[in-house]
Chains A and B, each alone.
Chain A
């Protein structure tokens, strides 16, 4: 199972919006609504930000939103803040009953 494809890096200024994409296949992203997004700050454990494509866990800011079209899922962060600077990973359930992650996207807040 190949890793999902994410842009290596993205940047934005405070207050702006950015979108991170996550491309898979019909055997993972396109075939199931089991896409999640995780935020990871350096030296810390990942934190769940979005699950089931669009759902936000309790306590996660509504500045974070998720969507999916075909084999590509997206995470949008609006009103960028300095604390949003982190690595972001998507993941998806697969037709092999496994889980696959994206390669990660480094978000820089300018």
Chain B
């Protein structure tokens, strides 16, 4: 069974850093493209970014609001996806979901999410 378990969320001050993790199991993580998607409280879904598998080059793409501040990486030896968030803003407050990706744009499997609150 595919499982994605996010962790690392919490309360952080504006301007601060935070790193989220997503532990994957039940599939060949090294072959998978992965996404981060976020959802602000009471709001809709927002794509954060994507990382390809290393065999497909390992490239990353980011949404405009986070480009230059967030970095997606992966450790295939640990079956873990990461989201390093720097220079956090109050508007980054959201539940962050990791997802698998098929053919660029289909997100078949989602984790349960981890809440990030940016507040002074």
Residues of A within 8 A of B (CB): 1, 3, 32, 34, 36, 38, 40, 45-48, 51-52, 57, 87, 89, 91-93, 97-104
Interface residue from A89, A98, A100 paired with B61 (Cβ < 8 Å): A98
23 contacts between A and B (CB under 8 A): A1-B63, A1-B64, A32-B105, A34-B103, A40-B45, A45-B97, A45-B111, A46-B110, A47-B110, A48-B108, A51-B106, A51-B108, A89-B44, A91-B45, A91-B107, A92-B105, A93-B104, A97-B61, A99-B35, A99-B50, A101-B47, A104-B44, A104-B45
Q: Is the CB of A101 within 8 A of B44?
A: yes
| Residues of A with C-beta under 8 A to B11 | none
The chain B residue with its CB closest to the CB of A104 is B44
Kindly provide the distance from the CB of A98 to the nearest chain B CB, expressed in whole angstroms. Answer: 6
B-side interface size class: 20 to 34
* Residues 61-110 of B at the A interface (beta carbon under 8 Å): 61-64, 97, 102-108, 110
| Residues of A with C-beta under 8 A to B64 | 1
Residues of B within 8 A of A (CB): 35, 37, 44-47, 50, 61-64, 97, 102-108, 110-113
The CA-CA distance from A3 to B37 in the complex, in Å, is 14
The CA-CA distance from A101 to B108 in the complex, in Å, is 15
Q: Is the CB of A38 within 8 A of B104?
A: no
Known A98-B63, A100-B47; judge A36-B105 contact (CB<8 A).
yes
Q: Is the CB of B107 within 8 A of A36?
A: yes
Q: Is the CB of A57 within 8 A of B45?
A: no
Interface residue from A3, A45, A93, A99 paired with B44 (Cβ < 8 Å): A3
Q: Is the CB of A52 within 8 A of B45?
A: no
Known A45-B112, A45-B113, A98-B63; judge A93-B45 contact (CB<8 A).
no
The chain B residue with its CB closest to the CB of A6 is B44
The CA-CA distance from A104 to B45 in the complex, in Å, is 8
The CA-CA distance from A99 to B50 in the complex, in Å, is 9
